[in-house]
Structure 1
Amino acid sequence: MFPTSPPESPPGAVPSDVPAAQVVRVALVDDDPFVLTALRAYLSSSPRIEVASTFNRAADALAFLRTVPVHVLLTDVRMPGMDGLELLTRVRSRHPGTAVVMLTSFDDDEAMLTALSQAANGFLLKDSAPEEIVRAVLAAADGGTTISPATASRLVAHHLRPVRTSRRTDLTQAEQSVLALLCEGYSNAEIAAQLFVAESTVKTHVSHLMRKYGTTSRLKLVVAVHREREAA
């Protein structure tokens, strides 16, 4: 959980030496006012992030987005009334250009899988380090997806069946081999060691795989592969 005293962060605009095009505008949603205070402090510590507003109700955040666009919405999963998952669904429908990062106190596999199936850009636990939350928001603004490490490991171990080969016919044998190891949770360096190739070669194959599957991150690629298998 969050520390008892959130770090001090003076209010104000993003420093003037940060180009406007690089500023990431963020809205925060959580029904706990202390959590909102802590999150604002954490994110305001980054010179690239501007916290546009905070909300304790999802409906209010949704109304805000109709008039003030933001790059990233960071929202709690469990809230009274409209919860974070419903908010994610509505934002995806009405504001597809807004990235959404989910934050929760519960290590909830079902909520995580639901969020990822709806193209959430992150799923973090509230005991994540402040710098991890900042990195996740910046990554989301760039189209990436971040999952808390322990949650990601469990996703691979318990929910994604091993992939030995893909049914696609447009993959080379080398790409098939890389994909199988990628779906088992191996890093690029570990895949390179397993296949006796350079890590740069693995990165090239992963880039080709993401392009062929129409994804923008390793995690989204893995999810896309398993959806493909389940649909077959």
Structure 2
Amino acid sequence: MTSSDEHGPIRVMLVDDHEVVRRGIVTAIDSSAALTVVGEASSVVEATRRLPAIRPDVLVVDLQLPDGTGIDVMRAARELNPEQEMLVLTSFDDDAALRESRSAGAAGLILKSARSKDIVSAIETVHGGGTVWANGSAEDEPELSESDRRIVELIGDGHSNREIAEQIGIAEKTVKNRVTVILQTLGMQRRTQVAAMVAARRRAGWK
């Protein structure tokens, strides 16, 4: 997650060369009070030129651009900000697109044909430290045990390690160790990222 104002809307930059598609996505994003579009671009050159000044919370980028690919844009974004959150917007969710998106550091991929609310939810989830693959309704993350999923939910409720230990009847040291494993499994560095992921899922209506 980037260091944006947590009390303000999520700042989104959209990169897509199709004007009609871009207008539709902007409308969907701006329809949510939790999101705001702070920048647009239609090419790799334009996107990389504007990124340093815009510094979005979430970069939403099409894979196919007239002068390159969304991969080029995402790599440039990660050079500027190693923690840049990124979501791929594409017409086809084939295996190659998934592999390329992941290799560039994207946290998810969503189809252009997805419903507006799914696009909004995907952006919120990515900003919250989660991942969104397929068409915005399924996550592709490492499997957690039932007990670890319970710990994740309690972290999302704002409980400390001691409170979690009391609730599920294990030692506080064990909880601490499990939190470390959970962070490693989810590819996160801080428990605040876990809490943000849970919050984003709940807003999206996911279990």
TM-score tier after normalising by the smaller chain length: 0.5 to 0.7
Give the counterpart letter for 1:47 in structure 2. A
Residues paired across the two proteins, number? 164
Give the counterpart letter for 1:210 in structure 2. I
Is residue 30–residue 37 contact of structure 2 (8 Å, CA) maintained in 1? Answer: yes
> 43, 62, 86: which is aligned to 1:100?
86
CA distance in 2, matches of 1:92, 1:198: 30
CA distance in 2, matches of 1:201, 1:121: 22
Q: Which runs of 5+ in 1 are unaligned?
A: 1-18, 157-178, 183-187, 219-232
> Max radius of gyration: which structure?
1
Following TM superposition, by how much is the alpha carbon of 1:96 offset from its aligned partner in structure 2, in angstroms?
A: 2.1
Following TM superposition, by how much is the alpha carbon of 1:152 offset from its aligned partner in structure 2, in angstroms?
A: 5.8
SS at match of 1:21: coil
| Cα shift readout 1:76-123 (whole Å, capped 9, x = no counterpart) | 011121210111111112222321110100122112112113321211
Following TM superposition, by how much is the alpha carbon of 1:23 offset from its aligned partner in structure 2, in angstroms?
A: 1.5
Is residue 52–residue 70 contact of structure 1 (8 Å, CA) maintained in 2? Answer: yes
Mapping for residues 75-114 of structure 1, pairs under 5 Å:
75-114=61-100
Aligned-residue identity in percent? 24
Is residue 107–residue 151 contact of structure 1 (8 Å, CA) maintained in 2? Answer: no
Mapping for residues 155-166 of structure 1, pairs under 5 Å:
none
* TM norm structure 2: 0.67
Following TM superposition, by how much is the alpha carbon of 1:20 offset from its aligned partner in structure 2, in angstroms?
A: 7.0
Give the counterpart letter for 2:187 in structure 1. T
> 122, 142, 150: which is aligned to 1:200?
150
Mapping for residues 1-232 of structure 1, pairs under 5 Å:
21-148=7-134, 182=143, 192=146, 200=150, 207-213=179-185, 215-216=187-188
Is residue 31–residue 55 contact of structure 1 (8 Å, CA) maintained in 2? Answer: yes
CA distance in 2, matches of 1:124, 1:69: 22
Is residue 110–residue 136 contact of structure 2 (8 Å, CA) maintained in 1? Answer: no
Is residue 26–residue 70 contact of structure 1 (8 Å, CA) maintained in 2? Answer: yes
SS at match of 2:65: coil
Q: 1:114 to 1:198 in 2, by over 3 A?
A: closer
Is residue 109–residue 135 contact of structure 2 (8 Å, CA) maintained in 1? Answer: no
The higher-RCO structure (CA 8 Å, 6+ apart) is: 2
Q: 1:44 to 1:214 in 2, by over 3 A?
A: closer
Is residue 148–residue 178 contact of structure 2 (8 Å, CA) maintained in 1? Answer: no
Q: 1:206 to 1:40 in 2, by over 3 A?
A: farther
CA distance in 1, matches of 2:124, 2:136: 20
Q: 1:130 to 1:201 in 2, by over 3 A?
A: same
Question: Aligned-residue CA RMSD in angstroms?
Answer: 3.1
CA distance in 1, matches of 2:132, 2:36: 20
Following TM superposition, by how much is the alpha carbon of 1:214 offset from its aligned partner in structure 2, in angstroms?
A: 6.7
CA distance in 2, matches of 1:199, 1:215: 15
Which residue matches 1:173? none
Is residue 128–residue 148 contact of structure 1 (8 Å, CA) maintained in 2? Answer: no
CA distance in 2, matches of 1:110, 1:151: 20
Is residue 71–residue 97 contact of structure 1 (8 Å, CA) maintained in 2? Answer: no
Give the counterpart letter for 2:15 in structure 1. V
Following TM superposition, by how much is the alpha carbon of 1:207 offset from its aligned partner in structure 2, in angstroms?
A: 4.7
